[in-house]
Amino acid sequence: MNQLIRKRFFIMIMSWCLSLSVQANPSNYPVMDEGVTDTISLLSPGEYNLINDKIMDLEHETGAQIAVLIVPTTGRESIEQFASQIFAQWQLGRKGIDDGVLLIVALNDRTMRIEVGYGLEGQITDLFTSQVIQNYLIPYFRAEQYAKGIELAVDALIAKVKQEELPPIDQMSLIVTKQTESIGLLDIVAGLVIGGSLLLWLSIIVKTLKRFPLRAGLFWGGIIALTAYFGGFDLTTWNGLTFGEDFLRNDLPRWVQLLFLQIFPAWFSVVMIFTCFVVSVFYILGFFAGVLMILDRWIKSEKLKKALFPGIIFGSIVYLFSYFSTGSLGAAVSITTVITLFIIIGIYKGFIKPTTGSGSSRSGGSSRSGGGGSSRSSSSRSGGGGRSGGGGASGRW
């Protein structure tokens, strides 16, 4: 019996060791191929040679190693885990210095990451790698100009290693990213807001022209002349405006992006964004005022009115705050519903005492990859390093 137990224990230990060896098998990861390892032939031979030559020239000049890896997917691993494993296996950077940088692109996952070796974290900070992704990689990847994006990102990393001037941020960051889609709710809301903003400015122009025809005519005519002189109406040039928020770049309909990024002059785009915000606030206030008027007419109970009005007003504030905090419409609606119902029931039952005009409640209210790698290098290019400091940044396009 004891012999059978020992035999089973031995088999279990061997199976466990075998599973570990399979998981740690370097063959599960691509083998490094000089400066660029393109496993899916994303780059043409000319594009490959151009980027690869820049990387190898940097290595011969400074000893620092930059590696680009292009894969279809990272599988079950996150882009951060995959980058850390590759960095250790390839032993990027010189031994004891660890001056290596790894740029990974997972095309089908639409993810990317820049992993930075321990020895370069002082120069290539997390903030810098995030800026490289946002300013160089993502805009070109969205335009499906992958080679140009990778080339500019490599140029920026090389310049930072050599402490040289960075390549200029291209106008491609202002590209219209959305494709034409069927009309949806967002199109209707955007049409109402932008239409209201244009009507507001039209009424201002008409009123000033009626009241001060000569001075207003000279003023508005001068603005139009200056705009035309500086190329503001030239649809082949960018207007200098960057939105900065993912919602504005990714979620707004294509026709809205065309208006703000290509059709409107730069100064008018800025003015319109502010005007749209003002108009949106008035729309929201008008909507809730209408709801309150309807409730006031339909509901006869004064006690219920006193509970509903502050609850709705406070709930709308909670909705706006939670939506902009979480970025999720579902989460915002759920949070708002729970809090609004709590306030309404609390005021109606009497355990929440509203102040004058409003309701108030008395209730109180990067992971870093280890990066230590001792795996045998798969390429003669290995510098013997491989210690990732965990620094870097990831992104999606």
pLDDT band at 360 (very low <50, low <70, confident <90, very high): very low
> Do residues 368 and 353 lie in contact, with contact meaning Cβ atoms separated by under 8 Å?
no
pLDDT the model gives residue 10: 47
pLDDT the model gives residue 67: 93
Which residues does residue 115 pair with via DSSP β-bridges, in sequence order?
Answer: 102, 392
pLDDT band at 331 (very low <50, low <70, confident <90, very high): low
pLDDT band at 11 (very low <50, low <70, confident <90, very high): very low
* Helix H or strand E segment including 318: helix 302-326
pLDDT the model gives residue 294: 79
Task: List, in order, residues 6 or more apart from 391 with CB less than 8 Å away.
Answer: 115, 116, 121, 124, 125, 126, 129, 368
DSSP letter assigned to residue 264: S
Domain 21-174+374-396 sits in CATH at: 3.10.310.50
Average pLDDT taken over every residue of the chain:
76
The domain spans of the chain are 21-174+374-396
Summarised one tens digit per residue, pLDDT across range 182-233 is 787 778 888 999 999 999 999 999 999 999 989 888 998 888 888 777 766 6
Quote the crossing angle between the two packed helices 266-298 and 302-326, to the nearest 10°. Answer: 150
Query: Tokens for 278?
Result: 């003002």
Q: What gap in Å lies between CA 147 and CA 140, rounded to an integer?
A: 8
Of 45-54, 165-174, 352-361, give the range with the top mean pLDDT. Answer: 45-54
Is the pLDDT at 239 greater than 70? The verdict is no
Nearest to 259 by CA among 185, 183, 206, 197: 197
Is the pLDDT at 377 greater than 80? The verdict is no
Summarised one tens digit per residue, pLDDT across range 88-139 is 999 888 888 888 999 999 999 989 999 998 888 888 888 889 889 988 898 8
Amino acid at 70: I
Query: Tokens for 251?
Result: 């979620």
Is the pLDDT at 242 greater than 60? The verdict is no
Is the pLDDT at 151 greater than 80? The verdict is yes
Summarised one tens digit per residue, pLDDT across range 271-302 is 888 888 888 888 877 887 787 787 777 877 77
Query: Between these two residues, 172 and 389, which has the higher pLDDT value?
Result: 389
Q: What gap in Å lies between CA 364 and CA 328, rounded to an integer?
A: 25
Q: What gap in Å lies between CA 150 and CA 105, rounded to an integer?
A: 9
Summarised one tens digit per residue, pLDDT across range 259-270 is 877 778 878 888
pLDDT the model gives residue 207: 92
Query: Tokens for 292?
Result: 């309150």
Q: Lowest mean pLDDT: which of 46-60, 95-109, 295-309, 311-325? A: 311-325
pLDDT band at 348 (very low <50, low <70, confident <90, very high): confident
* Helix H or strand E segment including 101: strand 100-106
Q: Lowest mean pLDDT: which of 24-33, 86-95, 158-167? A: 24-33
Amino acid at 261: L
